Amino acid sequence: MEALILAAGLGSRMEDLTRNTPKPLLKIKDKTLISYALDITSQLPLNNIYVNTHYLADQLNDYLQDLYPQIIISHENTILGTGGGIKNIQKQDLLIMNTDNLWQSSFIGEIEKAIHHFSQNQKIKNLMLVNSDSSNNDLEIHDKKIIFPSQHKNTKFQGCHLLRHGSLDEYPEIFDIPLYWKDCSIKQQLYGFETKTNNPHIGTKELYLQY
């Protein structure tokens, strides 16, 4: 299994904070947002870790090459979308994480359990890590299956999921992953894995400034 940290977006929800700085390099407690994700993935049994880049890529590339030289950078000349960015690098089963969450070290063990569950259940094409104790749910789960699009929301997507190799082969080069989630849900191959760690979502300027 490999991992991809999604870092190619424009960070527009951060407003003026990302005018001269890519969102993954914004800091909380003197630590960049992307470091929270990389410090998690670096402790997991993964073959390779990728980061996709686009907006202000030179800054991000320099940072990664200096502090995380083992990372493989996948630069996108044109933004491929969350789905296209994944398809562009996927050669194995893949762990995908974003930089919109303040990742906690206690989440490492939960990801390890999710990876084991995923490897033991080949019928699962996409496993979304969720937290049903959240106060701001955005997904619907029944009998461990995710219903997408979701109407009766009873769980929260943790911003981390596992994708089976080859799942995106028939999709275009540029697309966003919710298109796949919809199709995968219809086929009843989209599952949720319950986790307890609170990884605060900090993907907007308002949420970010709370920390």
Q: Mean pLDDT of successive 10-residue segments in the chain (211 residues)?
A: 97 96 96 97 96 98 97 97 97 97 97 98 98 92 97 96 98 98 98 96 94 93
Question: Residue 111: how many CA atoms within 13 Å on its side-chain side?
Answer: 26
Q: Are 158 and 101 in contact (CB under 8 A)?
A: yes
CA dist 61 and 131 (Å) reads: 32
Within the chain, strands assigned E span: 2-6, 27-28, 31-32, 49-53, 72-75, 94-97, 126-131, 140-142, 145-147, 156-163, 190-194
Helix orientation angle between 33-41 and 107-120, rounded to the nearest 10 degrees: 50
Task: Look at residue 19 in the predicted model and tell me its pLDDT.
Answer: 96
CA 22 to chain centre: 17
State the CB neighbour count (10 A cutoff) for residue 91.
11
Task: Look at residue 134 in the predicted model and tell me its pLDDT.
Answer: 84
Indicate the DSSP class of residue 52. E
How confident is the model over 53-108, as pLDDT tens digits? 999 999 999 999 999 999 999 999 999 999 999 999 999 999 999 999 999 999 99
Question: In the structure encoding, which two tokens stand for residue 82, read together?
Answer: 């969350």
CA dist 206 and 149 (Å) reads: 26
Q: Read off φ and ψ for residue 38, nearest 5 degrees.
A: -70, -35
Single-letter amino acid code for the residue at 167 = S
Task: Look at residue 135 in the predicted model and tell me its pLDDT.
Answer: 82
Single-letter amino acid code for the residue at 43 = Q
Indicate the DSSP class of residue 34. H
Please give the model's pTM, rounded to 2 decimal places: 0.96
Task: Look at residue 182 in the predicted model and tell me its pLDDT.
Answer: 98
